[in-house]
Structure 1
Amino acid sequence: MSLDQNLRVDNQTDGEMKYGISCSTLLGLSPSADDVVRFAQEAERIGFHSIQLGDHVLGPEEFDASAYPAGVFDPRWPWYDPLVLLASIAGATKSVRLATGIAVLGYRPPIQQAQAVATLDFVSGGRFSYGVGIGWMREEFEALGVPFAQRGQRADEYLDVMKLLWSGSGQAFRGKFIDFTGGRLNPLPVQKPHPPIIVGGETPPALRRIAKYGDGFQINWKTFPEFKRILDELTTIMADSGRQLSDLYKQLAATNIELVQAEKDNLPNYEALGLDEIIFCPACYSVSEGFHTMRKFASEFF
């Protein structure tokens, strides 16, 4: 089964727009572990294609809120290790795809990342998609001891390292940040050659990263003209890399449901451009509000 086919196995009819949901900020400030698992099970029952988790390690006491790329950011939200929590969700679900949306590549050493991703793909039976990006919160990088200015270079090299490890070749790697004599992961990922890499971001460097490494992309919600413009730019960059835009699984993520509602009648045109999945990632401040919001979104768009 190809990466593209892997991404399209779900409860929704093939060929239709797919919908995913992020539960990072959807269940309030203090959900229980049981709340999160029940939410994932309910999302699967309703028919969501994927369940996603964002990625922060800690919430700084002070940060530059204007740097947040997708709306309001509240550091009081619980930020789980996404791979650990998705492994728990994998054991409580059967068919829904699991994804990071978006994991920050520079936050974790790449060899350990590669092992964790392979293990999550193993325990989920090949249902994992690895959404990755370079990150945006300078204060968090500083707390983790990772140079903020190097995050793009590190992201590219880390992806090279992980793809090498997932190949099972055992080869050595020598780069700017990583130098090792070789070795093999066991188990390797279930999906071949590896779980789909969904690259987040829409800046020129991000578009080049999509073309070089991506099996798909996730960007913040765009109006139809904006989405078309980005696809036009990406088409050229993909061609320069010997690839086609149709190679990519295309996701738009919306923190504000009103933005999607405003384009609801226009969604067939988004599909015609190749949009595969809309990721709904709103902010709610209680468990009950989160469940209600999820069901309301499904009833309106499914």
Structure 2
Amino acid sequence: MAFNLSVTFPFDHIQQPEEYTTMAAVHECAKAVEEAGFYSGTVTDHPVPSYRWLDGGGHYAQDPFVMLSMVAAVTTTLRVQTNIIVLPYRNPFITARAVSSLDHFSNGRVILGMGAGYLKPEFKALGVDFDNRNDIMDDHIKAMKLAWTGEDFAYEGIGYTAVGNRVLPTPAQKPHPPLLIGGNSKRALRRTVELGDAWHPFIVPKMVTDTARTAAISGDDDIVGSIEYMKEHCEKVGRATPPQVICSSTFVIKQGFSAQEALDGYQSLRELGVDASGASIEAATRAEWCDLARQFGEEVISKLD
């Protein structure tokens, strides 16, 4: 099975608006990524982050479904991926509708990466209960799955009620696009087994995860231990096939990058039981960003089997 790679789009770099926040940027970056051979291009989700978080090293984010719709419109094979959306932020049927529309019109290219979130001020600004976010996330996944059937459904959710509703057209992918469950906690791993298609770990050191209020996944032992935990939970709940493990960015592409280092890193992940991964690109200009994407395609992606 091919070891697919995602790449993070640079559309959040609002400090360089002429380079990264124009329609030309969407066209050029999306086409470069597709030509390079990346499996998917990703965007993240922070509708209203706090200034303290932003000034402390956080980042802005465009609306994920707006950006991915524009990317899908100028590509033909590239998957469009959220990495991640914070599922509790929106009514689940609003999200289900956005996903269904995008997957239908892109001919089945959506990958839905999702997480419970961690920015308390953002939850507060959106009127969502931060302390209940894990229960809300589980609830929303169940509600979206009902909506994606295309059948009439009723559902009593957390703070909302569907009394007899229908969503059409359904996603092109059946029964729905791949659901990648983010988060490093035991609860996130159980959620992956019970409700998801793949685990989407956030592989960073403890010093970073302390600020994100999530468990650290920083080494081989953490990854292997998490995979084993999911296998054990599969046995408990009767799931026959364990979820895939699809990492987000685990390599930074920049001037002078080592293709062999990237290949070795991805091979190491594969040996641990990881099925796919990703990369990010550091560049001063859009032209450099696109050139690096294509170079990575020639020197790394073309050599992955």
TM range (shorter): 0.7 to 0.9
Structure 2 distance, partners of 1:293, 1:60, is 32
Q: Structure 1 residue 228 and structure 2 residue 218: aligned?
A: no
Q: Structure 1 residue 74 and structure 2 residue 58: aligned?
A: yes
Structure 2 distance, partners of 1:64, 1:27, is 12
Q: Normalising by structure 2, report the TM-score.
A: 0.82
Change (3 A) 1:65 1:296: farther
Identity %: 28
Q: Structure 1 residue 116 and structure 2 residue 98: aligned?
A: yes
Tell me the residue number matched to 1:22. 8
- Displacement of 1:254 in angstroms is 2.6
What amino acid does structure 1 have at the position aligned with 2:103?
A: D
Q: CA RMSD in A?
A: 2.5
Structure 2 distance, partners of 1:260, 1:106, is 38
Q: After the TM superposition, which residues 1-302 of structure 1 pair with which residues of structure 2 at under 5 Å, given as runs?
A: 15-24=1-10, 29=15, 30=17, 31=20, 32-63=22-53, 73-75=57-59, 77=60, 79-221=61-203, 222-244=218-240, 246-254=241-249, 257=252, 264-265=263-264, 267-282=266-281, 284=283, 286-302=285-301
- Displacement of 1:220 in angstroms is 2.2
Q: Normalising by structure 1, report the TM-score.
A: 0.83
1:178-210, Cα deviation, whole Å (9 max, x unpaired): 212021111111111111111111101111110
- Displacement of 1:282 in angstroms is 4.8
Change (3 A) 1:259 1:200: farther
Structure 1 distance, partners of 2:279, 2:250, is 6
- Displacement of 1:235 in angstroms is 1.2
Structure scoring higher RCO (CA < 8 A, sep ≥ 6) equals: 1
Structure 2 distance, partners of 1:276, 1:91, is 28
Given that residues 26 and 282 in structure 1 are in contact (C-alpha distance below 8 angstroms), is that contact kept between their aligned partners in structure 2? Answer: no
Structure 1 distance, partners of 2:287, 2:199, is 31
Change (3 A) 1:283 1:60: farther
SS in 2 for 1:90: helix
SS in 2 for 1:63: helix
Change (3 A) 1:88 1:74: same
Given that residues 28 and 285 in structure 1 are in contact (C-alpha distance below 8 angstroms), is that contact kept between their aligned partners in structure 2? Answer: no
Structure 1 distance, partners of 2:40, 2:23, is 19
Given that residues 251 and 278 in structure 2 are in contact (C-alpha distance below 8 angstroms), is that contact kept between their aligned partners in structure 1? Answer: no
Structure 2 distance, partners of 1:240, 1:260, is 41
What amino acid does structure 2 have at the position aligned with 1:19?
A: L
Structure 2 distance, partners of 1:284, 1:55, is 22
SS in 1 for 2:274: coil
Length, aligned pairs only: 279
Which segments of 5 or more consecutive residues in structure 2 lack a partner in the other structure? 204-217
Which segments of 5 or more consecutive residues in structure 1 lack a partner in the other structure? 1-14, 67-72
